[in-house]
Amino acid sequence: MTTTRIGHKQRWIPWGALLVASSLLVGCQIWGGSQETVGKTSNQDAAQTIPHYTGEKSKVIPFVYTGRKELSLTFNGMGDVVTMKRLLDELDKYQIKATFFLPGMRVAEEPDIALEILNRGHEIENNTLSQLDVTKLGYEQIYKEIQLGNEVIQKQTGVTPRYVRTKSGDVTDEVRLAAAALGMKGVVSYNINPKDRDMKDAKTIGEYVARFMTRGGIISMNTDINPEVVNSIAYIAQAAKDIGYKLVPLGQLVANGGERKPLEQIPGYDAAKINPDTKNAAYRFINRLETNEPKIALTFDDWGTDKTVTKVLDILEQHDVVATFFLRAKGVEANPNLARAMVEGGHDVANHSYSHQVITKLTPEELQQDLVKAHRVITEAIQQQPVMLFRPPTGVINEEAAKVIAAAGYRDIAMYDVTTLDWDSRNSAEDIVNGVMEQTRNGSIILLHILDDIHTVEALPTVIERLKAKGYTFVKMADLIPD
């Protein structure tokens, strides 16, 4: 017997769960044997054969679909008592609730640590029994790794795990099938991995997470490898605060998220199609609406990080202004939640191509392929048909390209009459403000950008305030366009 201590508790380690796990695994030759021996069977093995599940696979969760300002901090493994106590104290300091994927064997060895995790308000999920490399295991061994991990965690903590994650985060069909057979809600991967296994320092870990922080993101870190993980919490907490995001447990993130429909189930996904018959396609350029009413449209092009785009969205919300976002779909593909947040904020989303090439340099086939791909990526991201407006990258377009675009389903070519070249970081916030104010008139369409490291975010509040002071009303671009 031995004792372990965490916080102010002390108790004898109950080895019963460990022995139960050991006896159950002997038949599969996982416990105490090399992975190369897996697959050898005996009469006892045959009697304990687990049927291979053939139903629907468990879902994979690399991130959660949501427009909310939330993401999850998750940990794998279980460090020693001192490390875990420091980590829990650090999470408390920054009021972060996290999700811990714990190996069943470590829970059996040191249940007090697992109980303290729960007492501090965090979640516990299954990191398999002994963190073996699942890519080298057969279905039955994977099943028992998950099953016994669940059983040990439930026995020692009273918690029944809902999710499983493998040691590396790798997900195979066999893992998904075993998880489904055991009634698990999902196999959790991640979309933010700061690679702390490489023994990076705390600041480097924190800066990596900050750079890739997204709504609905799942950060994956390890508690038992690099002690700098503990010190990185301060940097991660600050990064979330800078954007205005909250770190919540995985269960809460999933509960607040939504299910993404397959593309083919979304009305309007096929509103853009390849169509080689371009000769007589009708199109129209829209630069400005001729009107005596003080209505204007604020539009934003391209793509940026969560930090930049969220600041733009926050400013628009604070000033009760709606806008139209022309999105570079390659960026949307990598971060669909950010596009969804725009729609949930009451804004319109439209097509700015997939790869952001000068379209007059593309063949008709290449242009339509790019356009249709962008349409489908954006549609799937926002789970609805985008506004059917296309804005050409760099603003360069000719009659031939316009016909190609119109034939594919985008009749309206969305241009602008107010531009300040804000994409050039040499143009200051004052330059941007002055340019907008000098050019804007009734029916104007204002072009700005959501790129990182430019001065648009700095200029935007002043732009809005001064335009409102002149009596202008902001509408979405589609509302300026006659039928």
Q: Which residue has the tokens 């870990």?
A: 205
- 237/353 same-domain check: no
Report the alpha-carbon distance of residue 181 to residue 371 in Å, rounded: 42
DSSP classification of residue 44: H
Q: Quick check: is 412 catalytic?
A: no
Select, from the ranges 29-38, 45-54, 303-312, the one with the highest average predicted confidence (pLDDT): 303-312
**Torsion (CA) 125, 128, 129, 130 in degrees, nearest 10:** -120
Lowest-confidence segment of 23-37, 194-208, 375-389 by average pLDDT: 23-37
424 within domain boundaries: yes
Residue 75 contacts residue 99 (beta carbons within 8 Å): yes
What pLDDT score was predicted for residue 47? 47
What pLDDT score was predicted for residue 135? 85
Mapped onto helix, strand or coil, the DSSP state of residue 483 is coil
Name the domain count of the chain. Answer: 2
Does 39 score more than 90 pLDDT?
no
- 219/179 same-domain check: yes
| Mean pLDDT, residues 252-276 taken together | 96
256, 286, 308 - which closes a domain: 256
What pLDDT score was predicted for residue 125? 98
Q: What is the mean pLDDT of the chain?
A: 91
- 128/250 same-domain check: yes
- 78/42 same-domain check: yes
- 252/277 same-domain check: no
261 within domain boundaries: no
Six-digit token pair at 125? 């999920």
Amino acid 298 reads L
Lowest-confidence segment of 21-25, 76-80, 288-292, 395-399 by average pLDDT: 21-25
- 279/341 same-domain check: yes
Q: Quick check: is 301 catalytic?
A: yes
| Mean pLDDT, residues 311-331 taken together | 98
Give residue-wise pLDDT tens across range 56-115.
Answer: 999 999 999 999 999 999 999 999 999 999 999 999 999 999 999 999 999 999 999 999
User: b/e string for 236-269 if b means 16 or more Cβ within 10 A?
Assistant: bbebbeebebbbbbbbbbbeebeeeeeeeebeeb
What pLDDT score was predicted for residue 42? 40
DSSP classification of residue 53: P
225, 256, 287 - which closes a domain: 256
Single out the catalytic residue among 301, 306, 348, 422. Answer: 301
| Burial zone of 343 (CB within 10 Å; 0-12 exposed, 13-18 middle, 19+ buried) | middle
Q: In this structure, are strands 99-102 and 123-126 parallel, antiparallel, or unpaired?
A: parallel
205 within domain boundaries: yes
**Torsion (CA) 112, 118, 122, 123 in degrees, nearest 10:** 100
262 within domain boundaries: no
- 245/337 same-domain check: no
DSSP classification of residue 65: B
CATH (domain of 339) = 3.20.20.370
- 438/466 same-domain check: yes
- 352/475 same-domain check: yes
Residue 75 contacts residue 250 (beta carbons within 8 Å): no
| Mean pLDDT, residues 358-368 taken together | 97
Report the alpha-carbon distance of residue 420 to residue 422 in Å, rounded: 5
On whether the pTM is more than 0.85, the answer is yes
Domain assignment of residue 132, given as a range: 3-256
Give residue-wise pLDDT tens across range 230-240.
Answer: 999 999 999 99
Residue 474 contacts residue 323 (beta carbons within 8 Å): yes
Report the alpha-carbon distance of residue 157 to residue 115 in Å, rounded: 6
- 277/218 same-domain check: no
Mapped onto helix, strand or coil, the DSSP state of residue 123 is strand
Residue 188 contacts residue 63 (beta carbons within 8 Å): no
What pLDDT score was predicted for residue 48? 65
186 within domain boundaries: yes
* Residue 60: partners with Cβ closer than 8 Å, 6 or more residues away: 171, 176, 186, 187, 189
Give residue-wise pLDDT tens across range 298-313.
Answer: 999 999 999 999 999 9
Does 163 score more than 80 pLDDT?
yes
263 within domain boundaries: no
- 232/339 same-domain check: no
Does 319 score more than 90 pLDDT?
yes
96 within domain boundaries: yes
What pLDDT score was predicted for residue 22? 52
- 274/248 same-domain check: no
58 within domain boundaries: yes
Single out the catalytic residue among 347, 356, 375, 449. Answer: 449
Backbone angles phi, psi at 470, to 5 degrees: -90, 0
| Dihedral over Cα of 468, 469, 472, 473: its sign | positive
